Structure 1
Amino acid sequence: MPEEKALTIDYSQKDAASTFAPKPLLSSQQAGWRNIHLAHYQLPAIEVPEIYNVQHVIVIPFWKQPVEVELIAEGKRYLTQHDQKETALNCIEVLPAYVPISSKCKQEIELMHCYLEPTFLAHAAHESVNPDRVEVKLALQAPDPLVCQIGLALRSVLETDANNSYFYAESMATALAAHFLKYYSTRKHFLQEYEDGLPKYKLKQAFEYVAAHLHQDVSLVEISEELGISQYYFCRLFKKSTGMSPHAYLIQQRVERSKQLLKQRGRTINEIAVECGFANPSHFAKCFRRYTGISPNQFRMM
Structure 2
Amino acid sequence: MSPEKAIILDFAETDAMKSILPNTSILSSHGANWEGIHVEYHRQPPNESPEHYLQQHSIGIIFSSAIGGVALNGKRYGSQPCQSGEMFIAAAGTDFQSHAVEEHEFMAIALDPTEFDNTVGESTNSNLIEIIPHWPITDPLIFGIAWALKTELESGGLNGTLYVDALKNALSMHILHHYFTQKPHLRDFECGLDPVKLQIVINYINDYLNRDLHIAELAKLVQISPYYFSRLFKKSIGVTPHQYVTQCRIEKAKQLLKRQDLSIIYISQQVGFHDQSHFSKTFCKLVGLTPKKYRDQL
TM-score using structure 1 length:
0.92
Gap change, CA 1:193 and 1:79, over 3 Å in 2: farther
Segment of structure 1 superposing worse, 152-161 or 197-206:
197-206
Aligned partner of residue 191 in structure 2, secondary structure: coil
Cα distance in 1 for partners of 2:137, 2:178 equals 11
Residue in 2 aligned with 1:298? 293
Residue in 2 aligned with 1:111? 106
Cα distance in 2 for partners of 1:139, 1:93 equals 5
Residue in 1 aligned with 2:268? 273
Aligned partner of residue 198 in structure 1, secondary structure: coil
Segment of structure 1 superposing worse, 158-167 or 9-18:
158-167
Residue in 2 aligned with 1:34? 35
Does the aligned pair in 2 maintain the 1:122–1:129 contact within 8 Å? no
Does the aligned pair in 1 maintain the 2:160–2:212 contact within 8 Å? no
1:204-234 Cα shifts (integer Å, max 9, x gaps): 2221111111112112111001011110101
Which one-letter code corresponds to 2:205 in the other structure? V
Cα RMSD of the aligned pairs, angstroms, is 1.8
Residue in 1 aligned with 2:76? 77
1:1-302 matches, cutoff 5 A: 2-21=2-21, 22-65=23-66, 67-69=67-69, 71-79=70-78, 81-84=80-83, 87=84, 90-130=85-125, 132-162=127-157, 165-302=160-297
Does the aligned pair in 2 maintain the 1:31–1:163 contact within 8 Å? no
Does the aligned pair in 1 maintain the 2:68–2:80 contact within 8 Å? yes
Aligned residues: 296
Cα distance in 2 for partners of 1:169, 1:3 equals 31
Cα distance in 2 for partners of 1:29, 1:121 equals 18
Cα distance in 2 for partners of 1:242, 1:80 equals 51
Does the aligned pair in 1 maintain the 2:64–2:104 contact within 8 Å? yes
Aligned partner of residue 115 in structure 2, secondary structure: helix
Cα distance in 2 for partners of 1:163, 1:31 equals 11
The Cα of 1:134 is off from its aligned counterpart by: 4.3
Cα distance in 2 for partners of 1:53, 1:156 equals 25
The Cα of 1:119 is off from its aligned counterpart by: 1.0
Which one-letter code corresponds to 1:233 in the other structure? Y
Which one-letter code corresponds to 1:120 in the other structure? E
Gap change, CA 1:47 and 1:57, over 3 Å in 2: same
Gap change, CA 1:102 and 1:92, over 3 Å in 2: closer
TM-score using structure 2 length:
0.93
Cα distance in 1 for partners of 2:229, 2:93 equals 29
1:247-290 Cα shifts (integer Å, max 9, x gaps): 11111110111000001111111211111111121221121112
Cα distance in 1 for partners of 2:155, 2:285 equals 15
The Cα of 1:129 is off from its aligned counterpart by: 2.2
Gap change, CA 1:202 and 1:46, over 3 Å in 2: same
Cα distance in 1 for partners of 2:4, 2:90 equals 21
The Cα of 1:163 is off from its aligned counterpart by: 6.3
Cα distance in 1 for partners of 2:258, 2:129 equals 51
- Structure 1 residue ranges, 4+ long, deviating more than 4 angstroms after superposition: none
Cα distance in 2 for partners of 1:241, 1:210 equals 15
| Unaligned residue ranges in structure 1 (runs of 5+) | none
Gap change, CA 1:40 and 1:140, over 3 Å in 2: same
Cα distance in 1 for partners of 2:237, 2:199 equals 11
The Cα of 1:141 is off from its aligned counterpart by: 2.0
Cα distance in 2 for partners of 1:208, 1:131 equals 35
Segment of structure 1 superposing worse, 257-266 or 29-38:
29-38
Cα distance in 2 for partners of 1:3, 1:139 equals 20
Which one-letter code corresponds to 1:28 in the other structure? S
Cα distance in 1 for partners of 2:184, 2:4 equals 34
Cα distance in 1 for partners of 2:39, 2:168 equals 11
Does the aligned pair in 2 maintain the 1:52–1:100 contact within 8 Å? yes
The Cα of 1:197 is off from its aligned counterpart by: 1.9
| Unaligned residue ranges in structure 2 (runs of 5+) | none
